[in-house]
Structure 1
């Protein structure tokens, strides 16, 4: 298929998926107005269904290894791109913790909100409130995924895991599910998928849709028990597992509180 034809076909498919997502989100909004109290389980199921189709509309070939946990866990993953969210969200019914800026994104921010995403403003002092929301979410028996680096990277390194984001797992005694995600292109680290620096969503999306297929590896690692551990110890264990899976080595570094 000619590249320009392939590009427009991908755009058409993506727009169709987004239109479907808007319809689902509107339906959730109607249910909310009708007074349904707890829609989170419904949101998670619909979100997984939608994200699986969104992931299928992106130019990736995905391989998932490891076992999806049956019991509720706090999933922690390295963070390379906004595409991590649909790719990981297609694996299991999840809710996400995201930076507040995403809430302002056109269409995507509204969809994320309707999907039950929790938003946090960096440096705003609301981490305590968000921590309570995370603990409540886990305590209700639902999977939750966070990116404890707090930012994206180009995939060549793993940044500090901010241990305060794992406090909820310690408080609720919920295990942690470490996840390692990696993007490959022609046998090398993919330089198109990372969403870093001053890049904007639309420009990045168009570059992706014009590119050839890339390979994505998602590895669900051995869960880490939170019982008897401090949040710093739990963060260190989770990061070490992801570091080993991505780079075959473990770094010894101080973790942020």
Structure 2
């Protein structure tokens, strides 16, 4: 029976990816007349129904333009935040050329960072007007994923976009629960294979995830290094603290408070 259920979930995932590629085509044909954020949110919310990921949201996103900054545990983080708010992301430029994933990311309005010296300034010039126009932008400044047990130092260069656009930074802490057998299956780190990680998640439906939207930090209060350090401290404290008894919103299967 378990294998049958896994096969059904895999089939639903393949169908959902095909739907995503159709949406990619629609966004491309629209030539900028369709804003990708609502479609991205809708698609990711339905993705989590396939995985039966149980999401609890604590707090809420800032209404106006802002920079969302989060710790980074898994590829799931991107889908998770995209399901919680209408936002765009910053990703390394290599992602643009990945099969399927690159097409989905580009259609979602992802901004790409060319790694190396001088790569951040051209990107910041793109991010500032987007933030000033009221957009939400999500950044994972650790630069890599972790097991979720700690938060790495934040790279501060792209925090300049919040400062130059005079938009607040909203820290977000993401914490995943364990599988039914006690294993920590959410992280996607090191030499992990994406396909294997996806299958493992499909084999273990009902994984819990908490998303903590923390009070925004005014961009003008600190220079970029200080802003990055303050954001990291707030996120780290939230991850160490117990979850509040009752979330404001629950996506996926609703959890009892």
| Common fold: TM-score over 0.5 | yes
Q: What is the match of residue 95 of structure 1? A: 88
Q: Aligned residues, how many?
A: 242
CA distance in 2, matches of 1:125, 1:188: 46
- Which residue in 2 is equivalent to 1:73? 66
In structure 2, list runs of 5 or more residues that go unmatched: 242-257
2: CA distance, partners of 1:187 / 1:218: 20
Counterpart check, 1:114 vs 2:107: yes
Report the secondary structure of 1:90's partner residue.
helix
Q: Give the alignment's Cα RMSD to 1 decimal.
A: 1.9
TM-score scaled to structure 2, two decimals? 0.88
Give CA deviations for 1:43-71 in whole Å, capped at 9, x if unaligned.
11111111111222224211111022211
Distance 1:208 1:99 in 2: 25
Superimposed CA distance per residue, residues 136-175 of structure 1 (whole angstroms, 9 cap, x where no aligned partner): 2212210000001111001111001111121100111100
The 1-side partners of 2:78 and 2:166 are apart by 25
Q: Matched residue of 2:174: which SS?
A: strand
The residue number in structure 1 matching 2:224 is 231
Taking the aligned partners of 2:179 and 2:201, their CA distance within structure 1 comes to: 15
Instruction: Output the CA distance in 1 between the equivalents of 2:9 and 2:200.
Output: 12
- Aligned counterpart, 1:28: 27
Work out the CA distance in 2 between the residues paired with 1:98 and 1:155. Answer: 20
Unaligned stretches of 5+ residues in structure 1: 249-257
Q: Does residue 248 of structure 2 align to residue 246 of structure 1?
A: no
Matched, 1:60 2:59: no
User: Contact 1:47–1:93 at 8 Å: present in 2 too?
Assistant: yes
Distance in 2 between residues matched to 1:187 and 1:59, nearest whole Å: 13
Query: 1:232 deviation in Å?
Result: 1.4
| Aligned equivalents of 1:193, 1:112: Cα separation in 2 | 21
Q: How far 1:189 moved relative to its partner? A: 7.9
SS at match of 1:125: coil
TM-score, normalisation: structure 1:
0.88
